[in-house]
Structure 1
Amino acid sequence: MARIVFLGTAGARYVVARQLRASGGVYIEADGTRLVLDPGPGTLVYLAREKIRVEKLTGLIVTHVHLDHSADLNILVDALTEGGLKRRGTVFIPREGLYGENAVLLPYLRPYLERVEILLPQQEYRLGEIAFRTSVRHHHPAETYGVVLELSGKRVGFVVDTLYFRGLIESYRDCDVLIFNVVRYRPHPSPQVQHLCVANVKEMIQELRPERAVLTHFGMTMIRANPKQVAQKLSRETGIPVSAAYDGMVLEI
């Protein structure tokens, strides 16, 4: 059995800055492999609260460089390698996170790791006993890829930050469980705000028909709309069980 722990369900700068929801990303454990997906601000603290040993992590996946997805990357690398005393762990990250003005993984920490792998669109990867693949490149200001992980015989897709576009659906076509970053309740009038809204999620659920779906990464409009009620309505309208994640929630696969 695999388990997914939501170390935080905050999305968007205001919710993160005010810590109206925690922003620690997602912890995933399966068959002895332990990873953190998108270590946002406070991940180190939230791992400690859940009594998860950082030095036991197998690796980290960063879907894009925005701070709510990468702020604790460097402290986690330092912690899991015990300050570089033990060379171990793998970081998966888009090229933008390693090179250029938006690089987020500090150069002095990179030799501490066993591997650093660059995420590319629609490629297959492995971390310990967990195989995963990337999606098409998402429509987002930073270089961004969702991931589909093989966990206990199920395909679990993380649809991370993106503007909705039809090509998105094919990347998650065969997922048993879909976890959506749904920052907005309604679409934003500006095309520069590139995040999913509830209507986008509903369309994807109706098209893809997963066994279940989970909403997370909420902005203020979602929090005001009450994510639990939004999830219940989506369940009724789509016929698919939909739940709203909360900080510390454990999802067993």
Structure 2
Amino acid sequence: MNIFFVGTGGGRVNLIAQLRSTGGFMLNGSLKVYVDPGPGALYGSKQHKIDLSKIDILVVTHNHIDHYNDAEVLMEAMSGYALQKKGVLVASKSVLEGGGKYDLSISRYHQEKMQQVITGVAGQRNSVLCNGKSAAFSFTPVRHDDETGFGFVLSMDGQKIGYTSDGEYFEGLGEYFKGCDYLIVNNLKAEEDCIPDHMDSGGAIKLLKEAQPKTAIISHFGMKLISSMPELEAQKISAKSGVKTIAARDGMAVGGGEGMESKKSLLDYVKDEDEVF
């Protein structure tokens, strides 16, 4: 299984400036999983030659625009231009139903185009069977503005990929991610620039000390962290946590089970294009 980062930007300022794309990322194995398709997901996928019609599972972890903006477009691609009932949507309750200050962010029309819709709830585990192939999501809690949001650990093809989604560190968070081959951390801020409800490098260090994944990947950077070079921040986190840490870049692929960073296109990791898409 490999991970392809369409976009690695986060935060409301970068959301508008698009110094880095907010297009989310893909997990490519026996099933194709697209996670948090914010603004730039459609354009970035076209740029990187990703066939969106081949997506099996779409995940939207919470109801913030930098995570859901392009979801409906991707769902139209997944469902044969909305002419078929096809694909699996995994999303928070706020995304699917709205509630409180949130309206639903994926229309009922688009939800009905999916073969299966799963509401992700922290603490629950859901198995997904799609095209005769299976994967399992263990949903993890977050401390974030959208209280129905979630992170997850995806088990597929003998590997475990963890994703924190947005949210600040709290004691015990790392317990949910133990045993991960890769842990993707939405690290918005540097250690000295923390804000509530979001992960900063200090929290990431504590998280990685607890979770001890084989490799950590930081992403979803705010403007200040982008300007100060995320690669340097990854080095600091790695040195203080003892966990190998990579700073993601737009268009970067990580895979092959070794946690190696690459500037190559996703196509360079496979012999047959069908194995990617």
Q: Same fold (TM over 0.5)?
A: yes
Which sits farther off after the overlay, 75-84 or 59-68?
A: 75-84
In structure 1, C-alpha distance between the alignment counterparts of 2:184 and 2:89, rounded to whole Å: 21
Corresponding residue for residue 5 of structure 2: 6
CA offset digits 1:149-192 (Å, max 9, x no partner): 124322211111112211322211232321100001136576xx
Which residue is 1:149 aligned to? 154
8 Å contact from structure 1 (residues 30, 130) kept in 2: no
CA distance in 2, matches of 1:231, 1:189: 16
Q: CA deviation at 1:233?
A: 2.1
Aligned residue number for residue 29 of structure 1: 28
Match of 2:15? 16
Q: Percent identity?
A: 31
CA distance, structure 1, for counterparts of residue 181 and residue 120 of structure 2 = 23
Q: Which amino acid aligns with 1:54?
A: L
Question: What's the TM-score once normalised by structure 2's chain length?
Answer: 0.85
Superposed, 1:17-96 pairs within 5 Å as 17-31=16-30, 33-96=31-94
Closer/same/farther in 2, CA of residues 187 and 63 from structure 1, 3 Å limit: farther
1:79-123 CA-partner distances (Å, limit 9, x unpaired): 221332121011111111122342011122222111111111111
Q: CA separation in 1, counterparts of 2:93 and 2:161?
A: 24
Residues 1-253 of structure 1: pairs in structure 2 closer than 5 A: 2-31=1-30, 33-100=31-98, 101-127=102-128, 128=130, 129-136=134-141, 138-142=142-146, 143-186=148-191, 193-252=196-255, 253=257
Q: Is the 8 A contact 1:90 1:116 kept in 2?
A: yes
Unaligned runs of 5+ in 2: 258-277
Alpha carbons of structure 1 residues 153 and 126: separation in structure 2 relative to 1, 3 Å:
same
Q: In the TM superposition, what whole-angstrom CA distance separates every residue of 1:121-148 from its partner, at most 9, and x where no partner exists?
A: 1111233332221012x11111210010
Q: Comparing both chains, which one has the higher relative contact order based on Cα–Cα distances under 8 Å and sequence gaps of 6 or more? A: 1
8 Å contact from structure 2 (residues 57, 88) kept in 1: yes
Q: What is the Cα deviation at residue 221 of structure 1?
A: 2.4
Following TM superposition, by how much is the alpha carbon of 1:75 offset from its aligned partner in structure 2, in angstroms? 0.9
* Structure 1 residues 22-77: Cα deviation after superposition (integer angstroms, max 9, x where no partner): 1110111112x111000111211111112111111112011101000000011111
- CA distance in 2 between counterparts of 1:84 and 1:208 reads 40
Which structure 1 residue ranges, 5 or more long, are not aligned? none
1:187–1:196 Cα contact (<8 Å) kept: no
Distance 1:237 1:189 in 2: 17
Worse overlay, 153-162 or 163-172: 163-172
CA distance in 1 between partners of 2:19 and 2:67 (Å): 16
- Distance in 2, Cα, partners of 1:30 & 1:164: 29
How far apart in 1 are the matches of 2:82 and 2:240? Answer: 51
CA distance in 1, matches of 2:227, 2:193: 15
Note closer, same or farther for the CA distance 1:234–1:189 as it changes in structure 2 (3 Å cut): closer
Runs of 4+ in 1 over 6 A off after TM superposition: none
Give the direction of change, closer, same or farther, for the CA distance of 1:231–1:153 in structure 2 (3 Å limit). Answer: same
Amino acid at match of 1:196: M
For 1:10 and 1:134, how far apart are their aligned partners in 2?
23
Contact 2:187 2:221 (C-alpha < 8 Å) held by counterparts? yes
